[in-house]
Structure formats: C-alpha cells, structure tokens
Amino acid sequence: MELLAGVTLALLTSISATMTGLDRDRGFYPVVLVVIASYYDLFAVMGGSAQAFSLETLAMVVFIAASLVGFGTSLWLVVTALVGHGVFDFVHAHLIANPGVPAWWPKFCLSYDIMAASYLGWLLTRPHAIRAADVKARADDRVTEPDQIALHGVPRNIPAGAGQVRTWVAPHLPTVIGSGRR
C-alpha cells in the first residue's frame, strides 16, 4: 500500500505541477528534493534522538548539495539525486537508527522518489525541452531589443519581438511574458 501511495502522490504532484506551470521554473524539482531530504530530520526530532538528528542532517546536506549543484548545472543531477534518495530510503534502517521514522515511511518515500525522478527524467527528454543548443540556434532569430534572461542559471540574450520579453525556462515551451501565449 505504501508503494502505491508514494507512486500516486508523486504522479499527482508532478502532473499538477506541469498542468499549472509550477515546474516551468527549473527550481521546482530541486526544491522538492530539499523537502524530501528534510523529512528524516523531522522524524529524528519527533523521536527525540540527537544522534539520529546529527546523522540525518549529514545525509540531508548531501542531498541539498546535489540539489543546488543540479539547479545550477543540470537537472539530470537532480534526477540522479532523487533516485539516490530512493536507494537511501531502501537502506536507511540499516544505516541510521531513527526512532521517529514511521514503519511505512521508507517504502512510501522510496516509491515517491523513484516516480518523481522518472517524471523529471521524462520531462527532460521531451522533444520541446529547451537545451543550451536551442538557445544558441535562436540567437540568429530577429532581434529588436534583446532582453537579459536566465536559462539554466546562465544569462543569455534572447531576441524578443514587438516589445515583448521572451523567457526560456526548461523543461517546457517558451513563454512570452505579457501575452499569455506559449
């Protein structure tokens, strides 16, 4: 039941984020990873174990670092870290004695992590995902007043037309600000 609940919640979260546009910003899944990584610390506090809290914090720092580096470089690192957290869930009880962890949590979190990683990986492989090469190819487009925008944390000059600012945010289609169009 825990596995099904994790998969279902990850799919509902990811699909609703896509449908509403929340995951258009490349920071969405790195933030999801930070939140996921923090739960074991919460459980250590609930269980009243300072030793578990210390060990869980060390593990959390690793995942937060992966999240931040992935945000700044490649979301594929975030995919890898989500899968890594799923592996961590699988072996967690053998590594850290945390009295606050509910018995059902590791299976739930493992399935959530793997499904969220799979969904993000799928998004990154979609044909319309924006890649650095696409941005370079678009630099030859008509230029009126290029506006400074950021793609993958790197400022780029992207041409805009008719006084509109065009932003490029992976992994979805470009959005023209002010027009409501994609």
Q: Which two tokens stand for residue 139?
A: 């630099």
Tens digits of per-residue pLDDT, 133-144?
Answer: 344 444 444 434
Q: Please check the confidence at residue 102 and state whether its pLDDT lies above 80.
A: yes
Residues 149 and 60 in one domain: no
In a domain? residue 34 = yes
Residues 163 and 113 in one domain: no
Q: What is the average per-residue pLDDT within 28-52?
A: 96
Q: Please check the confidence at residue 158 and state whether its pLDDT lies above 50.
A: no
Calculate the alpha carbon distances from 39 to 95, 97, 121 in Å: 16, 15, 23
In a domain? residue 178 = no
Tens digits of per-residue pLDDT, 50-101?
Answer: 999 999 999 999 999 999 999 999 999 999 999 999 999 999 999 999 999 9
Decide if 118 contacts 98 (C-beta within 8 A): no
C-alpha to C-alpha distance for 19 and 5, rounded to whole angstroms: 21
The total domain count for the chain is: 2
Phi, psi of 127 (to 5 degrees): -60, -30
The structure's pTM equals 0.70
Residues 26 and 102 in one domain: yes
Residues 105 and 53 in one domain: yes
Domain encompassing residue 85? 2-125
